């Protein structure tokens, strides 16, 4: 993320970040997670899973804020988010030329 | 003879990673039978999350369901569960609760099973304020048996037994429960995942007859017979048409075909349950002779 000035509490505060885990072969392609992800992290992929449905795929890696919405709305227990560990987050910020 | 795989993927993961809800589910039975886009799985997810947050001892929680698509939930949740005959989830759960008062008993079933076949049990459990949490999934139709008209099918909606549209006035389920004496009555749609989870968490902590009605899409029967599209179309209908009115008068909660759905918590009262009334009454009338059921059950557990 880009800041126009470094926030005063930047040293103390870390935004939430997460990674999405998709259990593709359990998905039935309903599209709930893709539609309701508040940050549009997911899309329906063009690939087929073992049952012939299109599972979701992550398009905005690093966009997930670990809100768990996809996990809660999925009727198939096929997707969940896990908190990204802080070191991984720092590395990502460094790679993006962050603060 | 080797058979070519459908599709082009070959990198199927051998062992899928564990879902956080897996400890609450019988994973050997997943994937479940519910259709793509059906909302029942979402309600199971919300219930499992609420149960986890409530800190209830899982060995002391049990789930009872009747027949129907929603009734399969008892088989997927990794709790002591029982899949009863059609409509008889509440009587079974009543016996379970009275026989082992320490259990947290949840009835998980559908609109047809609970208000149709088992309608009488529903109103009498509410009247007695039986200590049960009832999660009623309302998809306006009998799903598993082929889309027959249910007591909740809105006026003018089509079902397989009402191909020209339903002319029977449906039940207003929260009003039915509240007017029969339920202590806690709420309604959400399965799009309201956060609120539904909070409500279930709160309802688990309350006592008495607690009804949580959850409106869910049935893409295979209700939506198909009424040309309402997929499960996702159902969710977006809830998004546009559900309104939240906590404490609303339950008389105003009837659902018309493809009209607004009023959600929220309507009743939350503290009042004596069936067991408390029985203990108080017999304790007064019979005195020493009356032995209340011990928390862990009768002679078999004593
Ligand atoms: S909500 Fe679940 S079943 Fe539906 S598309 Fe997403 S991962 Fe697949
Ligand atoms: S028939 Fe309807 S209620 Fe039953 S699993 Fe399919 S979508 Fe769900």
pLDDT (tens digit, 9 = 90+) per residue, B229-276? Answer: 999 999 999 999 999 999 999 999 999 999 999 999 999 999 999 999
Averaged pLDDT for residues A42-71: 93
Among the residue ranges A78-87, B132-141, B152-161, the one predicted with the least confidence is A78-87
- Residue A39 Cα to chain centre, angstroms: 8
- Does residue A69 lie within any of the structural domains? yes
**Shortest CA gap B18–chain A (Å):** 9
Q: What is the pLDDT of residue B299?
A: 65
- Does residue A76 lie within any of the structural domains? yes
* Cα A54 to middle of ligand 1, angstroms: 9
- Does residue A16 lie within any of the structural domains? no
Averaged pLDDT for residues A62-76: 94
User: Would you say B190 and B215 are in contact if contact means Cβ atoms under 8 Å apart?
Assistant: yes
pLDDT tens track for B42-60: 999 999 999 999 999 999 9
pLDDT band at B286 (very low <50, low <70, confident <90, very high): very high
**Shortest CA gap A61–chain B (Å):** 19
pLDDT band at A92 (very low <50, low <70, confident <90, very high): low
Q: What is the pLDDT of residue A7?
A: 80
* Cα B268 to middle of ligand 1, angstroms: 34
Whole-prediction pTM: 0.90
Q: Count how many pairs of residues, chain A against chain B, have C-beta atoms within 8 Å.
A: 93
Averaged pLDDT for residues B81-108: 96
Query: Number of folded domains in chain A?
Result: 1
Where is pLDDT greater, at A85 or A78? A78
* Cα B206 to middle of ligand 1, angstroms: 33
Residue whose CA is at the smallest distance from ligand 2 atom 1: B143
Q: What is the pLDDT of residue A11?
A: 76
- Max CA separation in chain A (angstroms): 51
Question: For the domain B23-289, what is the CATH code?
Answer: 3.40.50.970
Q: What is the pLDDT of residue B154?
A: 97
Among the residue ranges A24-28, B6-10, B86-90, the one predicted with the least confidence is B6-10
Classify residue B101 by its DSSP letter: T
> Both ends of chain A: CA-CA distance in Å?
8
- Does residue A58 lie within any of the structural domains? yes
Q: What is the pLDDT of residue B3?
A: 47
Residue whose CA is at the smallest distance from ligand 2 atom 2: B218
pLDDT band at A61 (very low <50, low <70, confident <90, very high): confident
User: Would you say B170 and B155 are in contact if contact means Cβ atoms under 8 Å apart?
Assistant: yes
pLDDT tens track for B149-198: 999 999 999 999 999 999 999 999 999 999 999 999 999 999 999 999 99
Q: What is the pLDDT of residue B1?
A: 43
Q: What is the pLDDT of residue B104?
A: 96
pLDDT band at B302 (very low <50, low <70, confident <90, very high): very low
Considering chain B, what percentage of its residues have pLDDT values greater than 90?
Answer: 91
Beta bridge partners of B62: B80, B105
pLDDT band at B98 (very low <50, low <70, confident <90, very high): very high
Q: Which domain holds residue A51?
A: 22-96
Which distant-in-sequence residues (6+ apart) come within 8 Å of A22 by Cβ? A55, A56, A57, A58, A78, A79
Q: What is the pLDDT of residue A36?
A: 96
- Does residue A55 lie within any of the structural domains? yes
- Residue B52 Cα to chain centre, angstroms: 17
Query: Which helix (H) or strand (E) element contains residue A44?
Result: strand A42-44
Q: Does B232 touch chain A (CB under 8 A)?
A: yes
| Domain harbouring A73, CATH code | 3.30.70.20
Q: Which residues of B touch A30 (CB under 8 A)?
A: 36-37, 230-232
Say if residue A69's pLDDT is above 50. yes
- Does residue A91 lie within any of the structural domains? yes
For A63, B97, B246, the CA distances from B131, given in Å and listed in that order, are 45, 7, 23
Q: What is the pLDDT of residue A58?
A: 95
């Amino acid at each position: 993320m880009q800041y126009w000035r470094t926030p005063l509490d930047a040293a103390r505060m870390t935004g939430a970040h997460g990674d999405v885990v998709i259990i593709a072969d359990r998905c039935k392609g309903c599209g709930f997670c893709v539609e309701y992800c508040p940050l549009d992290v997911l899309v329906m992929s063009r690939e087929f899973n073992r049952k012939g449905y299109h599972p979701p795929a992550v398009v905005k890696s690093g966009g997930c804020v670990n809100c768990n919405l996809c996990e809660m709305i999925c009727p198939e227990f096929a997707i969940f988010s896990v908190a990204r560990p802080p070191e991984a987050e720092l590395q990502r910020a460094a790679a993006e030329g962050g603060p | 003879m080797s058979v070519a795989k459908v599709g082009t993927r070959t990198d199927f993961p051998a062992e899928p990673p564990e879902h956080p809800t897996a400890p609450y589910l019988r994973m050997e039975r997943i994937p479940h039978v519910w259709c793509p886009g059906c909302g029942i799985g979402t309600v199971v997810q919300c219930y499992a999350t609420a149960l986890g947050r409530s800190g209830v001892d899982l060995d002391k929680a049990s789930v009872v369901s009747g027949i129907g698509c929603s009734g399969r939930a008892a088989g997927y949740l990794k709790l002591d569960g029982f899949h009863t005959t059609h409509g008889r989830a509440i009587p079974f759960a009543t016996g379970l609760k009275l026989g082992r008062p320490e259990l947290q008993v949840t009835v998980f079933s559908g609109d047809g099973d609970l208000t149709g076949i088992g309608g009488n049990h529903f109103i009498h459990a509410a009247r007695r304020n039986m200590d049960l949490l009832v999660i009623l999934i309302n998809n306006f139709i009998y799903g598993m048996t082929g889309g027959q008209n249910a007591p909740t099918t809105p006026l003018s909606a089509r079902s397989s037994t009402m191909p020209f549209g339903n002319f029977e006035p449906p039940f207003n389920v929260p009003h039915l429960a509240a007017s029969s004496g339920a202590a806690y009555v709420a309604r959400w749609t399965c799009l309201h995942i956060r609120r539904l989870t909070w409500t279930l968490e709160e309802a688990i902590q309350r006592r008495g007859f607690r009804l949580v009605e959850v409106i869910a899409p049935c893409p295979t029967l209700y939506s198909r017979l009424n040309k309402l599209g997929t499960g996702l179309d159902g969710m977006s209908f809830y998004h546009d048409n559900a309104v939240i009115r906590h404490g609303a008068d339950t008389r105003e909660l009837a659902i018309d075909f493809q009209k607004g759905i009023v959600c929220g918590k309507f009743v939350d009262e503290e009042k004596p349950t069936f067991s408390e009334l029985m203990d108080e009454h017999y304790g007064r009338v019979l005195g020493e002779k009356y032995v209340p059921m011990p928390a862990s059950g009768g002679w078999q557990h004593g």
